[in-house]
Amino acid sequence: MRRLLLALALALALAAPATAVMPDEMLADPAQEQRARSISKDLRCVVCQNQSIDDSDAPLARDLRLLVREQITLGKTDAEVRDYVVARYGNFVLLKPPVEGDTLLLWAGPFAVLILGGIGVAVWQRRKPVTAADAPLSDAERAELDRLS
Partner 1 sequence: MQRLLFIAPIIAFVGLAGFLGYGLTQDPKQLPSQLIDRPLPEFALPGIDGPVLASASFRGEPRLLNVWASWCAACPQEHPVLERIAAEGFPVYGIAWKDKPDDSRAFLARFGNPYAGLGMDQAGRTAIDLGVTGAPESFVVDKRGRVRFKIVGPISPEQWEGEIKPLMQKLRAEA
Interacting residues toward partner 1 by CB under 8 A = 46-47, 49, 59-60, 63-64, 67, 87-90, 92, 120, 123-124
Looking at the Cβ atoms of 10 and 60, the one nearer to partner 1 is 60
Looking at the Cβ atoms of 27 and 67, the one nearer to partner 1 is 67
Closest approach of Cβ 64 to partner 1, in Å?
Answer: 7
Looking at the Cβ atoms of 118 and 120, the one nearer to partner 1 is 120
Which of 27, 43, 37, 38 has the alpha carbon at shortest distance from 85? 43
Closest approach of Cβ 135 to partner 1, in Å?
Answer: 25
What residues contact residue 136 under an 8 Å CB cut-off, 6+ apart?
Answer: none
Looking at the Cβ atoms of 21 and 45, the one nearer to partner 1 is 45
Closest approach of Cβ 49 to partner 1, in Å?
Answer: 7
Considering all CA atoms of the chain, what is the largest pairwise distance in Å, rounded to the nearest integer?
96
Distance CA 136, CA 117 (A): 37
Closest approach of Cβ 94 to partner 1, in Å?
Answer: 13
The answer to whether 66 and 25 are in contact (CB under 8 A) is: yes
Helix axes 30-41, 78-89, angle to 10 degrees: 40
